[in-house]
Structure 1
Amino acid sequence: MAKVVTMGEIMLRLSSPGQKRFIQSDSFDVVYGGGEANVAVSAANYGHEAYFVTKVPTHEIGQCAVNALRRYGVHTDFIARGGNRLGIYFLETGASMRPSKVVYDRAGSSIAEADAKDFDFDSIMEGAQWFHWSGITPAISDKAAELTRLACEAAKRHGVTVSCDLNFRKKLWTSEKAQSIMKPLMQYVDVCIGNEEDAQLCLGFKPDADVEGGKTDAEGYYGIFQGMMKEFGFKFVVSTLRESYSATHNGWKALIYNGKDFYQSKHYDIMPIIDRVGGGDSFAGGLIHGLLTWPEDQGKALEFAVAASALKHTIPGDFNLMSKEEVENLAGGDASGRVQR
């Protein structure tokens, strides 16, 4: 299988139990996660040699984050140690018409303050087939944005395919700042992933779609996909198309374009949602596996990615803990949920 490298921030997640509000909670459930870390876990679950690149503090909480990755087969050889803290985020899980809420406590984290000397990107990219990052990483600090650029340059020197999940986070930066950083980084990207908000706020491309009204017809995305490919030279442009009926009921599908053909996936009706955090990351992890496994069949790759993400919505925590075989079963049409004996 392939060597897949991802780079970003892993954080301590503190969740209010069940569907309790923060104000009701006397304790928090503890897990670890973060965009690119979640993708690395997915890649490892599918049998790839997954490596995660970050920096964590030397204390026990930093080690707990590393252990969480090791537990699921992610290689941690390139994780630097040092700095003052591990980023934290608090999650209040919504239900029905009440949305989930996230509160960040991540300023000054180890990876946000990391320097180029903490990483040998040429060694990291040697022998790799794929490098993945997201827009969250350059958003956390100017230093992290520079690390992203250096990693992308090394990936290109080593002939590595680069994917980016645009992942705009309004609590981390403005659209103006995002575009000033993200647009120049697109020159390194082969596979661009993002939903309608990401494409508009990170790159300035707005689809003809009423997302809030639940209207996500694929035709509304054709024009911006073609425009994005023309401007940035991507090999693939991909978007998830989420219909958010409530916090616990979503429609889910995706669209991919390779410069010649568009392919729209089958539609999943996901209800009840157990945990939607990491849903986009599970899609990215599934897409990476799909394009590595079926490089000439973008439709099959997309169906795997959409099925992987649909399943992630049933699993508590950030990580998608579904096997390749389980995802393939759903992608093949087995959505019965019958007990496996």
Structure 2
Amino acid sequence: MILPYVVYCSSGDMDAQYLLTISKYNGENNGKAEMTYYYQEMQKLFPNSTVFYSTKRDRHSVTVNDLTGNLWLDKKYYASDCHKIDPIVDRIGRGDAFSGGISHGLLCQDDFQTITNFATAAAVLKHTIYEDCNQLSISEVKSFLKSGTGKQTDKKVKDLF
């Protein structure tokens, strides 16, 4: 098994339950407590892993989803704002965009909340692009974050374009 050697691990609640056989969370029904539980349990199993990250998707329909990014780093949990994606053009490459955003933030030594927000914005924007490659620049992702478009309000990602 390779996981004992992994330092940065893209893994969320479903991975914890179904791949790592971590018991289902039975506490308060809120995202922070649930994800903290799973990340703590994963870190107990794999203490060499210092970073865990994932996205959480709430599906309203095939073309409308809410997306939140999660990061576990230095034994602390960080979550992005929830973004409403309407419409989804293509989901392929979203995970790569999120992982790339996490890697970018860690390499740039951004603060952990900024890393989470940036990675989530990159994943949200990737939903608006056909094919696998996220072709947006760092400044375009930051512009999206600054505008607040797509956050869980009446605004939607399509309002950006």
TM-score (norm 2): 0.83
Shift in Å, 1:286: 1.1
SS in structure 2 of the partner of residue 304 of structure 1: helix
- How does 1:103-252 map onto structure 2 within 5 Å? 184-208=1-25, 217-233=31-47, 234-252=49-67
Q: Deviations over 1:173-232 (max 9, x none)?
A: xxxxxxxxxxx21122111112332232322235538xxxxx772321211111111220
Q: 2:98 corresponds to which letter in structure 1?
A: F
State the secondary structure of the residue aligned to 2:2. helix
C-alpha deviation, 1:276, in angstroms: 0.8
Aligned amino acid, residue 20 of structure 2: L
For 1:266 and 1:251, locate their aligned partners in 2 and report how far apart those are by CA, in whole Å. Answer: 10
Residue 86 (structure 2) pairs with residue 263 (structure 1): no
Secondary structure of 1:246's aligned partner: coil
Identity of aligned residues (%): 34
Q: Specify the alignment match of 1:108 in structure 2.
A: none
Aligned residue number for residue 274 of structure 1: 89
User: Quick one: which of 296, 310, 316 aligns to 2:124?
Assistant: 310
Give 3-state SS (helix, strand or coil) of 1:238's partner: strand
Q: Distance in 2 between the 1:196 and 1:247 partners?
A: 21
Alpha-carbon shift at residue 268 of structure 1 (Å): 0.2
Kept after mapping to 1: 8 A contact 2:144/2:160: no
Amino acid in structure 1 at the alignment position of 2:99: A
State the superposition RMSD in angstroms.
1.9
Aligned-residue offset at 1:334: 4.3
SS across alignment from 2:19: helix
Aligned to 2:153: none
C-alpha offsets along residues 93-123 of structure 1, whole Å, 9 cap, x if unaligned? xxxxxxxxxxxxxxxxxxxxxxxxxxxxxxx
Per-residue deviation at 1:290? 1.2
**Greater gyration radius:** 1
3-state SS, counterpart of residue 128 of structure 2: coil
Q: TM-score, normalised by structure 1?
A: 0.41
Secondary structure, counterpart of 2:65 in structure 1: strand
Asked if 2 retains the 8 angstrom alpha-carbon contact of 1:294 and 1:300, the reply is: no
2:160 aligned residue:
337
Measured against aligned partners, the alpha-carbon deviations of 1:60-81 in whole angstroms (never above 9, x if no partner) come to xxxxxxxxxxxxxxxxxxxxxx
- Distance in 2, matches of 1:290 and 1:243, equals 25
CA distance in 2, matches of 1:259, 1:229: 11
Q: Provide the residue aligned with 1:299 in structure 2.
A: 113
Mind listing any 5+ residue stretches in structure 1 that lack a counterpart?
A: 1-183, 210-214
Number of aligned positions between the proteins:
149
Change (3 A) 1:290 1:194: same
Deviation at 1:309, TM superposition (A): 0.3
Distance 1:207 1:250, change over 3 A: farther
Q: Which residue number corresponds to residue 326 of structure 1?
A: 140
- Counterparts of 1:26-175 in structure 2, within 5 Å, are none
Q: What is the match of residue 152 of structure 2?
A: none
For the structure 1 residues 329 and 197, does the alpha-carbon distance in structure 2 shift closer, same or farther, using more than 3 Å as the test? same
| Counterpart residue number, 1:109 | none
Choose between structure 1 and 2 for higher RCO, CA contacts under 8 A separated by at least 6 residues: 2
Q: Secondary structure, in 3 states, of the residue corresponding to 1:254? A: strand
Rounded to whole Å, the distance in 1 between the matches of 2:22 and 2:135 is 33
SS in 2 for 1:285: helix
